């Protein structure tokens, strides 16, 4: 490796380190701003469960430290989710200098839509999925049973759902990227639709709690988003001639 190449490589590492530090700093700043409202944030996230519980029933904490650490941990994850646009901005700032003009024109809408879809997946989970599955689970079971969910267990449950739906809603972005890269085409993906249907339910089985209801509520939106991705991918098909001319 020549001296100029080595210095360039070190410069890239320094820039990568600086952008990682900025991304982490953004999460920290948001966390500091929100930590005072940690209990309120947890109460908001727990509202669908609390509204589904029988009367005179509340959530419990089986660990002495849970009343402090559960809202603290949730606030940290909320800060991470809220910092996603700034984190992606840092990623874009790192990779953009190495992209061609047509690649920048293609990727900017994809980055913006990926943020919106991620937040849309979380919103869909909170406002649509959670009331349905929590209402179902709290209404079944023996009458002599007293349901008192643990706050830490509920936190793990809801974070898993948020992450699953946030990632699953990125399907249109993933389809557009692979079609734009030339790895496949919308027509080829249409031919594989039966396998996609099976794959959606298999993936939902691993990403959601082990019940058919939540798996179905994730698999069905995944299939709809797959169809949306096929439509949008027509505008992101690879264009080798254009790429060669702009190089």
Each domain of the chain, given as residue ranges in start order, spans 1-151, 170-247
The reply to whether the predicted model has a pTM over 0.95 is no
Portion of the chain with pLDDT greater than 70, in percent: 89
The per-residue b/e assignment along 112-144, b for 16 or more CB within 10 angstroms, e otherwise, is ebbbebbbbbbebbbeebbeebbeebbeeeeee
Whether 55 shows a pLDDT value over 80: the answer reads: no
Distance CA 68, CA 240 (A): 56
Mean pLDDT of the chain: 83
What pLDDT does residue 237 have?
A: 62
What pLDDT does residue 114 have?
A: 87
Indicate the pLDDT class of residue 111, thresholds 50, 70 and 90.
confident
Other beta carbons within 10 Å of 95: 11
Per-residue model confidence as pLDDT tens digits over 61-81 = 888 888 889 999 999 999 999
What pLDDT does residue 44 have?
A: 94
Which whole number is the average pLDDT over 187-203?
87
Whether 21 shows a pLDDT value over 90: the answer reads: yes
Which whole number is the average pLDDT over 164-169?
88
In angstroms, how far is the first alpha carbon of the chain from the final one?
25
Per-residue model confidence as pLDDT tens digits over 173-183 = 888 888 877 78
Give the DSSP per-residue string, the chain: --HHHHHHHHHHHHHHHHHHHHHHHHHHHHHHHHGGGHHHHHHHHHHHHHHHSPTT---B-SSTTHHHHHHHHHHHHHHHHHTHHHHHHHHHHHHGGGS-HHHHHHHHHHHHHHHHHHHHHHHHIIIIIHHHHHHHHHH-S-TTPPP--BHHHHHHHHHHHHHHHHHHTTHHHHHHHHHHTTS--HHHHHHTHHHHHHHHHHHHHHHS-SSHHHHHHHHHHHHHHHHHHHHHHGGG---HHHHHHH-
Whether 57 shows a pLDDT value over 80: the answer reads: no
Which whole number is the average pLDDT over 188-204?
87
Query: Could you tell me which residue, 124 or 103, shows the higher pLDDT?
Result: 124
What pLDDT does residue 43 have?
A: 93
What pLDDT does residue 239 have?
A: 54
Query: Could you tell me which residue, 103 or 113, shows the higher pLDDT?
Result: 113
Per-residue model confidence as pLDDT tens digits over 221-237 = 889 999 888 888 877 66
Whether 59 shows a pLDDT value over 90: the answer reads: no
What pLDDT does residue 6 have?
A: 64
Portion of the chain with pLDDT greater than 90, in percent: 24
């Amino acid at each position: 490796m020549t001296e100029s190449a080595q210095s360039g490589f070190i410069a890239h590492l320094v820039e990568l380190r600086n952008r990682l530090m900025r991304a982490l700093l953004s999460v920290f700043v948001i966390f500091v701003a929100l930590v005072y409202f940690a209990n309120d944030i947890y109460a908001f996230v727990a509202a669908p469960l609390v509204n589904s519980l029988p009367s005179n029933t509340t959530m419990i904490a089986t660990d002495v430290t849970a009343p402090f650490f559960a809202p603290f941990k949730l606030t940290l994850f909320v800060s991470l989710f809220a910092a996603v646009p700034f984190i992606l901005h840092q990623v874009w700032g790192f990779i953009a200098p190495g992209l061609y003009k047509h690649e920048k024109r293609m990727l900017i809408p994809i980055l913006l839509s990926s943020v919106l879809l991620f937040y849309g997946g979380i919103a869909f989970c909170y406002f649509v999925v959670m009331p349905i599955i929590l209402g179902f689970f709290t209404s079944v079971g023996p009458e002599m049973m007293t349901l008192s969910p643990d706050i830490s267990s509920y936190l793990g449950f809801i974070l898993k759902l948020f992450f699953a739906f946030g990632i699953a809603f990125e399907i249109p972005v993933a389809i557009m990227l692979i079609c734009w890269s030339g790895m496949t085409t919308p027509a080829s993906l249409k031919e594989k639709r039966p396998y996609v249907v099976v794959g959606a339910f298999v993936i939902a089985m691993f990403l959601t709690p082990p019940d058919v209801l939540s798996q179905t509520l994730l698999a069905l939106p995944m299939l709809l988003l797959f169809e949306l991705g096929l439509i949008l991918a027509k505008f992101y098909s690879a264009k080798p001639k254009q790429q060669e001319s702009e190089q």
